[in-house]
Amino acid sequence: DDQAPTICGMHLKYVSLVTLAVQNAALSIVMHYSRVSTPPSLAYSTASAVLLNELLKGSISFIIALARVPQVAERPWHRMSFWTIVRELPYPWTSPFWWLCGEILSPDCWKLSIPAILYVVQNSLQFVAVSNLPVASFQVTYQMKILTTAAFSVALLRRKLTPIKWLSLFFLAIGVGIVQIQTAVGDAPVRNVVVGSAHDNAPYHIHVMSPLKGFGAVTAACFTSGLAGVYFEMVLKNSRADLWVRNVQLSLFSIIPALLPVLYSSPSSHISRGFFHDFFRHFGGWAWATVSIQVFGGLITAMVIKYSDNILKGFATSLSIIFSFLASVALFHFRITPSFIIGATTVLCATWMYNQPAGQETLSIPIPINIP
């Protein structure tokens, strides 16, 4: 029943792909702004953001998984009166709750520990990358994920790639290279001047970015993204366990690696006022917006991996380049340079080429013959 679900007559596969593209663009812009709009002394802790992301994603996945347990899902809620629902609400959940806990702690749950650790590392690297690169350059370079995803798909899922796909991967690397060089030599702005900050004691400040650090982080994040995505796809498609149960397992295993940096980042720059106070220090609206978009993205990514695959996911995220490119011209005064346009166009063309159906597939459509 999970194969091709629809929502309002549209395939969930395409709805989730377009939603992912919009989410990706929004995330890089909001995350970038949340980091560069305040001076370092007023910045929120990225370790807190990574941990909150996992806690929220895990809780939402748990609620969805619980609502999908047949005992709960098949109850005639729509035929009950409001007060009957209120009175009976606690009852049908208790035994599914314990049953679901058993499912989550099933003997094969350890398989999710590998992608869980990789995603925590990736989510932390993303903060470093987005704080040190212009949004558009970050987005284009992050397309190298397609390259690493393809490599891990070939190695772990034994997928075969056609010569066209290898060629498009080559163009992808070239395109990313062009964007990298132009950003690194200072063609694009590497200093982001924010005037009129919301904080009284910092009327304005200059956020200096370090492109080299940014590119290093983005490259490492591409590796963890490819490996984690393919590993998650392998676990998901080789077993019958529910997607939402798998998501809860993923978040559970993420908690330990996400908690360590929170515990070990000593509040050296300020006097500690207790765990929760330090945890939410400077955690304002932009930080919450970043975490919310990340949580939403995690849930959509899982659906995309389930209903299509990691390679189509790459296509969706490259669409998001266009959205965030236009937005960063408007919001961050990103300068459009010829080399950026050449590099970004190469990346988009390569992505399009990669996602062309193979020759045999298009030729194998049966042609109906009407003999009168």
Binding positions for ligand C5P, rule: CB under 6 A = 57, 119, 122-123, 145, 225, 229, 232, 247, 250, 297-298, 301-302, 313
In terms of CB distance, is 20 or 348 closer to ligand C5P? 20
In terms of CB distance, is 36 or 49 closer to ligand C5P? 49
* Non-local CB neighbours of 294 within 8 Å, separated by 6+ positions: 27, 31, 49, 53, 123
Side-chain-side CA neighbours of 280 within 13 Å: the count stands at: 6
Residue 253's CB is within 10 A of a number of other CB atoms, namely 23
In terms of CB distance, is 119 or 334 closer to ligand C5P? 119
- Is the C-alpha dihedral spanning 278, 284, 288, 289 positive or negative? negative
In terms of CB distance, is 190 or 245 closer to ligand C5P? 245
What is the Cα–Cα distance from 243 to 236, expressed in whole angstroms?
Answer: 7
Q: Which one-letter amino acid corresponds to residue 131?
A: S
Q: What would the two tokens of residue 206 be?
A: 């200059």
* Non-local CB neighbours of 199 within 8 Å, separated by 6+ positions: 38, 39, 42
Q: Which residues pair with 6 in a beta bridge?
A: 11
In terms of CB distance, is 96 or 298 closer to ligand C5P? 298
Residue nearest ligand C5P (C-beta atom): 298
In terms of CB distance, is 205 or 306 closer to ligand C5P? 306
- The CB-of-181 to ligand C5P minimum distance in angstroms stands at 23
Q: Which residues pair with 193 in a beta bridge?
A: 206
- The CB-of-162 to ligand C5P minimum distance in angstroms stands at 23
Rg (CA), the chain: 23
What is the Cα–Cα distance from 283 to 69, expressed in whole angstroms?
Answer: 36
- Is the C-alpha dihedral spanning 48, 50, 56, 58 positive or negative? negative
Of 280, 305, 289, 250, the closest CA to residue 54 belongs to 250
In terms of CB distance, is 207 or 313 closer to ligand C5P? 313
Virtual torsion, Cα 313, 316, 318, 322, nearest 10 deg: -160
In terms of CB distance, is 80 or 256 closer to ligand C5P? 256
